[in-house]
Amino acid sequence: MKSIDTKCVQAGYEPKNGEPRVLPIVQSTTYVYETPEAMGDLFDLKASGYFYTRIGNPTNAGLEDKVNALEGGVGALATASGMSATMLAVLNLASSGDNFIASSNIYGGTYNLFNVTLRRMGIDCRFVENDTIAEDIEALIDDKTKFIFIETIANPAGKVADFDKFSAIAKKYGLVLVCDNTISTPYICRPFEYGVNVIVHASTKYLDGHATSVGGIIVDGGNFDYLGNPRYPLFNNPDDSYHGMVFAKDFGSACFITRARVVGMRDLGAIMAPMNAFLTVLGIDTLHLRMPRHSENALALAKALKNSDAVEWVKYAGLEDDADYERAQKYFTKGYCAGMVSFGIKGGKEAAMKFQKALGLFKIVTHIADSRSCVLHPATTTHRQLSDKDLEAAGVPANLIRLSVGTEGIEDILADVLGALEVSQK
């Protein structure tokens, strides 16, 4: 399979003679073996096969193999949520006393995990901006630095990651580069082609695409050499919980994802339910049809917003005069920028309230990236604890409205948003 469109439809599950055409939902915690020796070998990782759904499940494997094929990796692991995918990826690289570098232009939930929870666990996050110059980023790297974390299209700020800069730094210091590719999806951007080593996803968003299933996925690019790199003792020291196995030696280029599964998932247990994996696979079957449509609708709406008197500014990387336009053209399939558009409404919080109440098609929800258009005002919801000044500093000004543009007809989308904008200014 060459075309990513074909992979969306067909990759990940290959039925054999007489088997179901559609990936079956295997709703079983456990799997049968005829001898205790056969089961023992599975526990020692001497043989591969399913033995307990926390470690692996055939339906989840269908999703994992599909997303792995789309991203071009060597293996993937489905998780209970996007947050657990990130958490597992982090704990697969860093321990208490270690640190890492992260762009602050990332999803708010990830920011909290990095800034509060991981610090409490003794893992120190050093934030930089997407546009911080390389020299200033390098000054933060020391022997205990384990990885760099970026997000392809930052939610909700809409900024596009500077892959070339971050991957050059990661290479120079022998650091793993981790990327959250949720908003772009592999249809629009394939970060492994730009030097990323590990990809995490909230499959909750466009991969599912229909707002049915919270989930996450980690994909291993297989393009980082852990063997003998002193930064990565977890891959080079014998693992006591597997009879002294050395992951970098015993699993080679797939050591990251193997360890994430047999240590990380074994211990943390944040597995995806097989039913959710099934629904997410169903979603991905149409990813290649939905992403162009989301992107075209969002671009048309962003242009209309730019021309509206009720709008102070618009952030969408697909707009030609946007600060991230060139990066989007460089890194994204056909320059598509997905469906998330942010804008500043004239009249601040008050106008934002009137605007949301006047919408019909766009529903108020704490979600993005499904077929149905929706709206969120961060200053009065996700970020409501912050003062106006703190909102500004977080890059989420009080007048920011985030739209997730769906796949409906563009004439209805424009009528709904432009009509509500008119009401908001009265």
Ligand X SMILES: *Cc1c(COP(=O)(O)O)cnc(C)c1O
Catalog residues that contact ligand X under the rule CB under 6 A. Answer: 81-83, 107, 109-110, 151, 155, 180, 182-183, 202, 204-205, 214, 216
Decide whether 80 or 302 has the Cβ nearer to ligand X: 80
Interior angle at CA 420, CA 419 and CA 422, nearest 5: 70
Q: Which amino acid is at 21?
A: R
The DSSP line for 284-327 is: HTTHHHHHHHHHHHHHHHHHHHHT-TTEEEEE-TTSTTSTTHHH
- In whole angstroms, the minimum distance from the beta carbon of 370 to ligand X comes to 12
Nearer to ligand X, 169 or 202 (CB): 202
Residue 316 CB, nearest distance to ligand X (Å)?
A: 16
Instruction: Compare residues 167 and 182 and give the one whose CB is closer to ligand X.
Output: 182
Nearest distance in Å: CB 81, ligand X? 3
96 burial level (CB within 10 Å; 0-12, 13-18, 19+): exposed
CB of 48 to ligand X, least distance (A): 28
Q: Find the residue with minimal CB distance to ligand X.
A: 82
Indicate the residue among 110 and 130 with the shorter CB distance to ligand X: 110
Rounded Cα–Cα distance for residues 398 and 410 (Å): 27
Q: Measured from the CB atom, is 66 or 205 closer to ligand X? A: 205
- Smallest distance from ligand X to CB 261, Å: 19
Our CB check for ligand X shows the closer of 273 and 310 to be 273
Cis peptide before 156 (omega within 30 of 0): yes
In the complex, least distance from residue 150 CB atom to ligand X, rounded to whole angstroms: 11
* Cβ closest to ligand X, residue 276 vs residue 356: 276
Least distance to ligand X, CB of residue 265, Å = 16
Smallest distance from ligand X to CB 151, Å: 6
Q: What Å distances lie between residue 232 and 51, 226, 290, CA to CA? A: 29, 7, 39
Structure-token pair, residue 170: 């990661």
**Residue 7, number of CB atoms within 10 A of its CB:** 22
Is there a contact between 218 and 178 (Cβ–Cβ < 8 Å)? Answer: no
Q: What is the DSSP string of 203-265?
A: TTTTTT-SS----EEEEE-S----TT-TT-HHHHSPBGGGTTB-HHHHHGGGHHHHHIIIIII
Rounded Cα gap, residues 50 and 56, in angstroms:
6
The token pair that represents 106 in the structure block: 């990332």
Q: Which is nearer to ligand X, 396 or 420 (CB)?
A: 396
Distance CA 184, CA 210 (A): 16
